[in-house]
Every structure is written in C-alpha cells, then in structure tokens.
Amino acid sequence: MKRIGILTSGGDAPGMNACIRAVVRTALANDLAVVGIRRGYTGLIAGDAMPLDRSAIRNTIHLGGTILETSRNPEFYTREGRLKAAAAVDRMGLDGIVLIGGEGTFHGASLLAADADTAALVGVPASIDNDVYGTDYCIGFDTAANCAVEAIDRIRDTARSHERLFFIEVMGRTAGFLALESGIAGGAEELIIPEEEVTVARISDRIERGFIIGKKSAIVVVAEGKTPGISFEIAREVSERLNFDSRVVVLGHLQRGGPPTLRDRVLGSLLGFAAVEALMEERSGCMVGEVGGNLTHTPLEETWQKKKPLDRDLLRIFPYLSE
Ligand code: F6P
C-alpha cells in the first residue's frame, strides 16, 4: 500500500472533515501518499483528484460539510459508470480508497468491487440518519440530533406560551434514529417514525390524553421518511380530529450543517485512523465502525443489506416519558 485516495459521497455529515484530516495524518505518518477525490463518485468517474498534504487539512476539524465536496451520482449505479471509475482509479495509481458516506455509498462500492479488480475499498460510516448497519453511531448523527434538540427546545417555548400543538419534522429517510433520540431529549409528546405504523387516531388519542392530564401544549417529532413535508398533512388531520390549532416546522437541511460536536469530531478522527489502519492490514471490502466501544470491520454488503434496528430500550421508555 503506497498511495491511497479518499472521497466523501452522499449527504454531507458534520465530522467528515475530522475524518479526512485523520486519514491524511495517519497516512502521511505511515509514508502513504494521499489524494482527495472531489465530489464523491462524480469525481471518481472523472478521475478528479487533488493531492492532500498537511496544509490541505490544517484548521478543518471544526468545519461542517466536506472540504472534498460530495454528490449522489446515478451514473455510478450503471456498470458503464463503474468501469469508468475503475479505469480512473488505475490512472490515479491508487492502491486503496477510503470511502466516507452512508448506505448508498457502500452499495455503490460493493458493486464496484464486483465489477472490477480495483483498489482496496474501506468504508467509513457518515450519515446524519445513522442508518448504517455495523456501527452504533455514524459520523454526523450527534451534531444533527443536537441541532434538532435545540430546535425542539426553542419551539417548546412558543408552544407553551400559545398553548399550541407543534409538529417538528426531522430528517431520516428510512430510519427514525434522529426522531427517537431528539424526541426523547426534547421531551416530545409523540413520535412518528418509519419503523412503526401510526394512525391519525393513535396520535390524536395520545395528544388528547396529555391534555386530559393537564398538558396545554404538545410536540410531535416526525421523521420525514420517504416524503419530506409529510407533517403538513398529518398536522391537518390531527388538528381537525382534535379541533385544536397546530403548527408545523420542517427542520430540513439545517440539521446537516454547522460545526461538528465533540462526539462527531472524536468519532470521525477514530474511524479515519481505523480506515487507514485497515488498508495497511490489507483489508478490503469492509467498513470500519464502532460497536459497543470496540472498533469493528463489517463486510460492505452487510452495511446496506442489513437493517440497523433502533434501540429497543429507547423505544420502550418513550411512551412512559412522554405522558
Ligand atoms: O443524508 C441523509 C439525508 O439527510 C436524509 O435524511 C434526507 O432524506 C436526504 O439526505 C436528503 O438528501 P438531499 O436533499 O441532499 O438529496
């Protein structure tokens, strides 16, 4: 292993820069050359790379977003696109690539490895959705969840003052991690997550029960699921059923930006180091992660084929704490 590439792909996540920095510093300390591939798989297909030295990553640990930029590239989901990428990897002379991203990134990487005998591929999980199997937490989740909690706290002030019902929509396309943890930390009255079937009747009943026992305002945290903006419809139906005014706040991409929290900086640093270590151990086709406080290596296929479950205990306590 002499020369490695690094890219960020899919939705950006705070802490990606801490990870890039850790990869570069660990690689340089081990006499590996590092190149940064710009704009994720778009740059991999085009062979768009820049050398990464110490000066390129200096003073970046506190920055959100990704200095390498990112993309979601449909061309990579075609065999033709992946063969172009494999040819570019050869041209760039890469022995290994660190791929920082989520499920979609690792799905793409598995397909690339199946199509071509290319560089060793090691993934690092970064997604504010936290929905990658093989790690307890993904880089970016903690920052996004803290952003959501701060928003819930602010809205609670106005909800209490006006005796109102609020629906706060957080991100999470296929998973309710952000909704569950920010809902518990923000003291939400009800949760709507993709993992559980909910009906307007159930949501309304639970909110009404709260009003009966003396609550005067309520907050429902909604995971956006596959239909961002879904909260508007739910809010209208619940309001009609309860004959109670409501408001909707969609947090959207606010949750993706901003300086990473301590947890995301530390996790990004740890997993960046671990990714280079994995390449030096001649591992390939795996994702580094942290499970139960231990560094792990999970086959790339499992990271997107297996569904990461929500924390059962958190799900169990929620109904008790929300009344
Ligand atoms: O990165 C994950 C995520 O933030 C999802 O929660 C969300 O549904 C999606 O990305 C939005 O992606 P974009 O607007 O960048 O296409």
Ligand 1 pocket member 222 (CB < 6 A): no
* pLDDT of 92 above 90: yes
CA distance 209 to 321: 14
Q: Does domain 142-256 bear CATH number 3.40.50.460? A: yes
CATH 3.40.50.450 range(s) for the chain read 3-140+260-305
pLDDT over 70 for what percent of the chain? 100
Q: Give the tens place of pLDDT for each residue, 44-53.
A: 999 999 999 9
CA distance 176 to 196: 9
| 131 belongs to the catalytic site | no
Atom nearest to 144 CA in ligand 1 = 4
The confidence score (pLDDT) of residue 198 equals: 87
In CATH, the number for domain 3-140+260-305 is 3.40.50.450
Q: Give the tens place of pLDDT for each residue, 19-60.
A: 999 999 999 999 999 999 999 999 999 999 999 999 999 999
Catalytic residue among 53, 95, 129, 311: 129
Ligand 1 pocket member 16 (CB < 6 A): no
Q: Assess contact for 5 and 248: CB atoms under 8 A.
A: no
Task: Calculate how far, in angstroms, residue 238's C-alpha sits from the geometric centre of ligand 1.
Answer: 26
Q: 0.85 exceeded by the pTM?
A: yes
In this prediction, residues 193-205 reach a mean pLDDT of 93
Query: Order of strands across the sheet with 96-101?
Result: 49-51, 33-37, 3-8, 96-101, 120-125, 286-291, 294-299
CATH 3.40.50.460 range(s) for the chain read 142-256
CB atoms within 10 A of CB 223: 27
Residue 23 in 3-state DSSP?
helix
Task: Calculate how far, in angstroms, residue 127's C-alpha sits from the geometric centre of ligand 1.
Answer: 9
CA distance 71 to 308: 24
Joined together, the tokens standing for residue 17 give 């820069």
Task: Calculate how far, in angstroms, residue 174's C-alpha sits from the geometric centre of ligand 1.
Answer: 10
Instruction: For ligand 1, atom 16, name the residue with the nearest CA.
Output: 11
The confidence score (pLDDT) of residue 315 equals: 97
CA distance 97 to 92: 11
